[in-house]
Every structure is written in structure tokens, then in C-alpha cells.
Amino acid sequence: MKRAGKYAVLGLAVAAAASVPRIGQAPAPAAALSPERSEICVTGAAPHAHDGAAHSQARVRQGARVAEPGSRVSARVAEQVERELDRQKITGKLLRATGDKKWIHVPVRFHVLHNGTKGKLTKKALKEQIKVLDAAYQGRKGGVDTRINFYLKQITWTKNKNWFKQPRRYEKAFKKKLRRGGDSTLNIYTADLGTELLGWASMPWDYKKNPVLDGLVIHHGSLPGGKIKDYDLGYTAVHEVGHWLGLYHTFGRNYPDQDGCAAGDLVGDTPSQKEPTEGCPKNAPDSCPAWGRDPIHNFMDYAHDKCMTEFTRGQAERMRNAWARYRP
């Protein structure tokens, strides 16, 4: 999630040329707290009513002092993931040598949690968010083209005051009720995350053990044209999708327990960065002894939205390897 100060998370706090990958079926929904009122899904498959039946990364606003929901990745898990991605990297190189340059196509299911007029996003706003995702991941804002594209599969609207106002508390309940699709489907939930937190995301290697929690939760005010000053261009979702595709923060996988100079993001072409960026500095600092100035324009930092412009080639390769390993 985006950072809101030293202890922020990267979530958003207030942070075609290939075949479409398979979309499996999510586990049967378990009993969940009933919405105050059911509403109808208006896009995707046939319209239907909702009958009322460990985060990984997050982003926060500048100056926030909230704890990052489950953002730290243990050394044991990180080591295992790197072994698996190293094996996948070798396979990927062999595939690229035979001309495999396929696009990754990601179906997106938006779940709008709201309380009447509060947070009830329009279809137009959600389509604008899809455009921002495509522009960021295809290098149209700077950086590399990751050859990943996103397309709108479904929208649901659910009125429930508790789910909307307390998404961390009720996350498991609304995800059990609303989540659809398999490991390659991106479920995005919008809600009121308060005045510090911008969003959070699951990591791809967590899907197998806890598929119902897979996806993103982002502040409804962080979408393009939203009401959160400095975080209103839609880059909270861009940042959180980066986690969903296997990227750590540029300031390290274990911040603040370890600074980024020590832990790093395990991507070779992003310079080391001690701690998250605040605001949008005119000049990038050089906070670590290793090569390069802090990557303040990278989507996986905590800078203001206007400062974020790029993914690196190494990040693109890591996301594609993680997709092939965990979301095929």
C-alpha cells in the first residue's frame, strides 16, 4: 500500500495477441454476514442478486501511523518464493528463446461496497481505473511495457454499512460472499478505509492456502478523479496489483522491521532504497550505499500519485514469472 509516513503500508491509505488464461471456479461461498440490502450485479455473467447469506501488502497516506496489514514477508517464505521464481525464470528464458512473447490477459471483477450514496462508484469510474491499469502496465506513463492487460469482467454493488466502513474487520465475510473466479481472476473491492490506509493486497503465493482472501481492497476515493488529495489518479490500484503479481515494495519486503538497504525488493534493476518516499521530491535521494538513487517514480514506492510513472524491466520479468508459477 502507499505510505503514509514511516510506518505506512503500501496499499492505498486515506494506498492482443494471446489466449486468455484459464479462469477456475472459486470455492463455494461460506456463510457470511448478510448485507443490509442486496443489490443486483449488472455486468459480467447473467445478472443475479446477492441473497445475504493474511493480508500481504498495503499502502498508506503520507503521515499515517497505521500498521501495514500483514505486509511483512518472513525470511523463510521469501527464500522459498525466490527458489520457485528462480526455477520459473529458467523456464521463462527457454520459452522466450522459442519465441513465446504472449500477453497476459487479466479479467477484473469489481465489488463496490457502499452505504447508500457514500462510496457507490459508477461503472464509468471503474472503467477509468481499468484504463489507468492498462496505461501503467503497458509503459504508457514511462518505464517498460510488461505485456499485461486488464479487462472488465463484472461489477457488483453491495450496500452494507459495516462492510463499507470496516473492511479490515469484515474482509473475510464479504470476500466469502462476493469473490468469483480462480487464481488468474483479479477481484478488487472498494470501501472506506479511513483517513490513513489506502489499500492492501494478497500475494500470488498465498492463493493456494487461502484462495478466498485473494485480491485487492482499495479506498473508493483513490480511483481516478477521487477525493483523496495526492492519491486520486488511480495508482493505489496499480501499486496493489503489483503486489498481487508478486512485487515487493522498493524499500524492501520487511519494512519497517528491516530497512530497504538490508532487505531489498529482490529485483536487480531497482536501486536500493532505505525507506518509503514521502510526497514527490524534486530530486531523488541516495539513501543506501549500493548503486543508484532512490526509485521515487516507481509504482511500488509510497510517493504521491503524480510522482509515480514506471515499472522496471526486472519488475516486469518478476511479475511474469510469478504469474506463470502461481497464476497460470
- What is the Cα–Cα distance from 141 to 297, expressed in whole angstroms? 10
- What is the Cα–Cα distance from 27 to 31, expressed in whole angstroms? 12
Q: Would 169 be classed as within a structural domain? A: yes
Q: Would 24 be classed as within a structural domain? A: no
Is 240 assigned a catalytic role? Answer: yes
- What is the Cα–Cα distance from 256 to 101, expressed in whole angstroms? 37
Q: Containing domain of residue 98, as a range?
A: 57-326
Q: With beta carbons less than 8 A apart as the criterion, state whether 237 and 129 touch.
A: yes
Q: With beta carbons less than 8 A apart as the criterion, state whether 134 and 127 touch.
A: no
Q: What is the pLDDT along the chain (328 residues), one digit of tens a residue?
A: 544 433 334 343 333 333 333 333 333 333 333 334 334 333 333 333 333 334 445 566 665 445 445 556 777 788 888 888 887 776 665 555 544 568 999 999 999 999 999 999 999 999 999 999 999 999 999 999 999 999 999 999 999 999 999 999 999 999 999 999 999 999 999 999 999 999 999 999 999 999 999 999 999 999 999 999 999 999 999 999 999 999 999 999 888 888 899 988 999 999 999 999 999 999 999 999 988 999 999 999 999 999 999 999 999 999 999 999 999 7
Q: With beta carbons less than 8 A apart as the criterion, state whether 109 and 158 touch.
A: no
- Domain CATH for 219: 3.40.390.10
Q: What is the pTM of this model?
A: 0.79
| Nearest alpha carbon to residue 45 among 211, 185, 219, 191 | 185
Considering 68, 171, 240, 317, which one is annotated as catalytic?
240
What amino acid occupies position 109?
R
The total number of structural domains that make up the chain: 1
Q: Would 295 be classed as within a structural domain? A: yes
